[in-house]
Chains A and B, each alone.
Chain A
Amino acid sequence: DAGVTQSPTHLIKTRGQQVTLRCSPKSGHDTVSWYQQALGQGPQFIFQYYEEEERQRGNFPDRFSGHQFPNYSSELNVNALLLGDSALYLCASSPSGSSPEAFFGQGTRLTVV
């Protein structure tokens, strides 16, 4: 049983560019959450998707947007990249209607130069 998979694992972008990160949830999970983790910090909630809609959002600007597809996979898009967007981006999936325990992917390490 494949767990949560994310791609790419590493990425280097230039300031002002746009990036798309991808996530496939664990089998049987239909809810996907995205987190940003800066070095030495805990993960910060960006948003959660369920039934192809954004269900809740953390304190992130509109430059951060997402999408969920009918097969429950998800994308995180970040526009107009800033140096401060450099971080580990984690995707977590969970089954709906049950305890919100989440299973994380290995993350995408984004470096903005």
Chain B
Amino acid sequence: RKEVEQDPGPFNVPEGATVAFNCTYSNSASQSFFWYRQDCRKEPKLLMSVYSSGNEDGRFTAQLNRASQYISLLIRDSKLSDSATYLCVVNPRGFKTIFGAGTRLFVKA
């Protein structure tokens, strides 16, 4: 089993749609969780941290479920500019950061 697993997609959605991605992780001792966004042939950029109580940043909402060991990202009112690969990132105890393989999102007009 991979340490961090994501549905690779692609997710094809129209503008204005709501889309959700899930990510599961295997190490129950994991402490920190993030969502990164990566545009084609560019470096990953931090989208948002994921907190135990859940957190929201504009159209983006992140949730953490420690019991089931998954995190989620919800994007509301999708924009064309949201088209990218979304990487789930888990930081277990220690210094090694583990990335999922990413979920590709295409938002169409």
Interface residues of A, Cβ cutoff 8 Å to B: 33, 35, 40-45, 48, 50, 55-56, 58, 90, 99-107
Q: Which listed residue, B49, B94, B101, touches A99 by the CB 8 Å rule? A: B49
Check B102–A56 contact: CB distance below 8 A: no
In angstroms, how far is the closest chain B Cβ from the Cβ of A103? Answer: 7
Interface residues of B, Cβ cutoff 8 Å to A: 4, 32, 34, 42-46, 49, 87, 91, 94-102
Provide the residues of chain A in CB contact with B43, threshold 8 Å. 90, 104-107
Assuming A42-B99, A45-B97, A56-B96, is B91 touching A100 (CB within 8 A)? yes
Provide the residues of chain B in CB contact with A104, threshold 8 Å. 43-45
Complex Cα–Cα for A48 and B98 (A): 12
Complex Cα–Cα for A47 and B91 (A): 14
Complex Cα–Cα for A3 and B87 (A): 21
Q: Which listed residue, A40, A102, A105, touches B97 by the CB 8 Å rule? A: A102
In angstroms, how far is the closest chain A Cβ from the Cβ of B94? Answer: 6
Complex Cα–Cα for A94 and B7 (A): 28
Complex Cα–Cα for A102 and B35 (A): 11
In angstroms, how far is the closest chain A Cβ from the Cβ of B101? Answer: 4
Q: Which listed residue, A35, A41, A99, touches B32 by the CB 8 Å rule? A: A99
For residue A104, which residue of chain B has the nearest CB? Answer: B43
Provide the residues of chain A in CB contact with B46, threshold 8 Å. 101-103
Assuming A42-B87, A43-B44, is B99 touching A101 (CB within 8 A)? no
Provide the residues of chain A in CB contact with B91, threshold 8 Å. 100
Provide the residues of chain B in CB contact with A101, threshold 8 Å. 34, 46, 49
Complex Cα–Cα for A55 and B96 (A): 9
